[in-house]
Each structure stands twice: as C-alpha cells, then as structure tokens.
C-alpha cells in the first residue's frame, strides 16, 4: 500500500523488481571490483563517473539545481548514500561474501522503522522489537553456529553502520521526492564522490585504473546499471510508494545475490547461511513488513 492506502501501481512494482535485481547484483560486482581496486578508490571512481553522467542528464533536461533547505537535504543524502554507506560496504566486502553481506543488510527495513520513529513519523510496536531480536539471532547464527560463515566482527559492525546510513537516506529521499531523481543523484554524487577520494587519499590507497576484464566489466556495470539505473529506480519507488516499503527490497537482495554469487563467483551457499538468511528475513517481515507491524505509513 502507498502512503494514501492505495496499492502501488504496476509501474512502481516493475521499478521495484528491477531495483531488487540490480541491487542484488551490485554486491557481487563490488566483490569483483575489490579484487583489483582499493575499496574507497573503487567506490570513488564508480560514483565520480556516475556523477558526471547524472550531471550531463541534468543539463540536458535543464533541471534547476536545489537551493536552501533542499540543497542541505540533498547534501545530507549524498553523504549518507554515497560516502558513508558505500565506504562501509566496499570495505566490508573485501572480506565478506556478497551473499552474506546482503543478509546482514536485510535489517534495513527494521532500521528504517526505528529511525522513522525517532523522526516522529511512525510508532514503535512490540512486533518491531521481536522482529529485531529474530533478525539479530539469524546474524549471530551465521557468525557463531556449528559451521560459522566467514563474518569478521569489524566487517559486521561496518555493515550494521551502513544499514543505519541507508535507513536514514531512505527517509531523506522521501523528503526529496518532489525533486527530479536525476538532480538528487547528480547533486548527491557530486558531494559524496569527492569525499570518497579524500578518504582514499588519506589512507594512502593506490589510485589505479582497472585492467582485468572482470574488474573492468564490474566497474562498467556499477557505473551504468548499478548506479545510474539503480538510483533512478530507487528514487522513483520512494516517490510513488512509502519510505518503509522501499526498504523491502533489502529483504529480497539475498535471494538474487546468493544465487548470482554461486553462479558467477563460486561463493558457497551453505545450509547455515541459508538458515540465517531465512531467520533474518522472517524477523524483518514480522517486525517491519507484515500487515500487523505497520501503524503510520512513512
């Protein structure tokens, strides 16, 4: 249901499904990028090029640049969405399999509910607490079960921090929904990408261009479909649906990523990982997505 109680349109559902597919593939593409490129440099290169593409689109469409409060919110969106979230995720994906990362990021809907409550946009329920406990149990099971999935604590903490960043950016994106998606992404990336370069330089990462065919293909995909395509779709969904509904896609990412990881990157799909994913997804559904979990739409 959208913010007015109506079901989402076929166009919204199509954009949602496409975003889930592209977003699920992104985690795997970042893993390929990290094989040759330093993580913060790779993220900066991706969004630096994507920013130029979005800026060209803004100029072609003659869109007005944001001012005042809209500019401030767009800057915050850029820092959260493109600097903080992707710096944390690129770094975590150096050591963590793409499928495992998407399972951890599946907690985003629960995080969005908590943040929406903090903003006074939703009310918390007992279901949210139970769902969060289930999701946490699923993650712990993957990390310390009888056949633990490789999930180092620093990487886990980085991904949980990334979930906070993207949850807040979804709420900000809703506040920016009147702005054209191309403008929001252009301005956001023009702010976020330079900060990634600064972070990369501060850590002394080598600034190399990709040479391996798989790395080149991954970067091209991440710049085009994985950035320009994905973020237009996400903002389209945010504009036409609710902020919390938009976060549903994070629950579906593991399905696409686990399958693609096994097919293209020989990432093992273990019973423990699948069990943990099911528990996490069940907790998120119960605490944030099921009909009884929602009270006030965002």
Cβ neighbours of residue 17 under 8 Å, at least 6 residues apart? Answer: none
Cβ neighbours of residue 70 under 8 Å, at least 6 residues apart? Answer: 176, 179
pLDDT at 4: 45
pLDDT at 58: 93
Task: Give the Cα separation of 6 and 272 in Å (integer).
Answer: 39
- Would residue 6 be called left, alpha or beta, if left means φ above 0 and alpha means ψ between -120 and 50 degrees? beta
235 contacts 173 by C-beta, under 8 angstroms: yes
CA 147 vs CA 95, 143, 244, 254: distances in Å: 17, 9, 34, 19
262 contacts 141 by C-beta, under 8 angstroms: no
Residues of the chain falling short of pLDDT 50: 1-5, 295-298
Cβ neighbours of residue 133 under 8 Å, at least 6 residues apart? Answer: 283
Q: Measured on CA atoms in the order 136, 84, 180, 222, is the torsion positive or negative?
A: negative
DSSP-derived letter for residue 121 is: S
pLDDT at 2: 45
Q: What is the pTM of this model?
A: 0.79
pLDDT at 7: 64
pLDDT at 265: 67
pLDDT at 238: 75
Q: Residue for token digits 């423990």?
A: 272
- Domain segments of the chain as ranges: 10-293
DSSP-derived letter for residue 248 is: T
pLDDT at 290: 66
pLDDT at 3: 46
């Amino acid at each position: 249901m959208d913010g007015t109680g109506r079901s989402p349109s076929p166009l919204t559902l199509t954009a949602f499904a496409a975003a889930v597919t592209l977003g699920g593939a992104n985690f795997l593409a970042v893993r390929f990028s990290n094989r040759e490129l330093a993580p913060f440099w790779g993220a900066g290169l991706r969004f630096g090029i994507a920013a130029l593409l979005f800026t060209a689109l803004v100029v072609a469409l003659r869109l007005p640049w944001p001012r005042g409060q809209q500019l401030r919110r767009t800057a915050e969106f850029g820092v959260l969405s493109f600097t903080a979230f992707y710096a944390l995720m690129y770094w975590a994906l150096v050591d963590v399999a793409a499928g495992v990362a998407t399972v951890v990021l599946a907690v985003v809907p629960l995080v969005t509910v908590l943040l929406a409550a903090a903003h006074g946009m939703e009310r918390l329920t007992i279901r949210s607490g139970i769902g969060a406990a289930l999701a946490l149990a699923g993650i712990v099971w993957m990390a310390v079960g009888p056949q633990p999935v490789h999930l180092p604590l620093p990487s886990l903490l980085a991904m949980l921090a990334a979930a906070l960043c993207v949850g807040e950016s979804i709420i900000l994106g809703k506040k920016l929904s009147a702005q054209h998606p191309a403008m929001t992404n252009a301005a956001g990336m023009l702010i976020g990408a330079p900060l990634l370069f600064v972070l990369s330089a501060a850590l002394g990462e080598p600034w190399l261009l990709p040479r391996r065919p798989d790395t080149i293909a991954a970067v091209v995909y991440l710049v085009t479909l994985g950035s320009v395509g994905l973020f237009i779709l996400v903002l389209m969904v945010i504009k036409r649906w609710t902020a919390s509904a938009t976060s549903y896609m994070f629950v579906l990412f593991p399905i696409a990523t686990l399958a693609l990881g096994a097919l293209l990157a020989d990432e093992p799909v273990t019973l423990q990982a699948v069990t943990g994913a099911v528990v996490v997804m069940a907790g998120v559904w119960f605490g944030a997505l099921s009909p009884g979990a929602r009270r006030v739409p965002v």
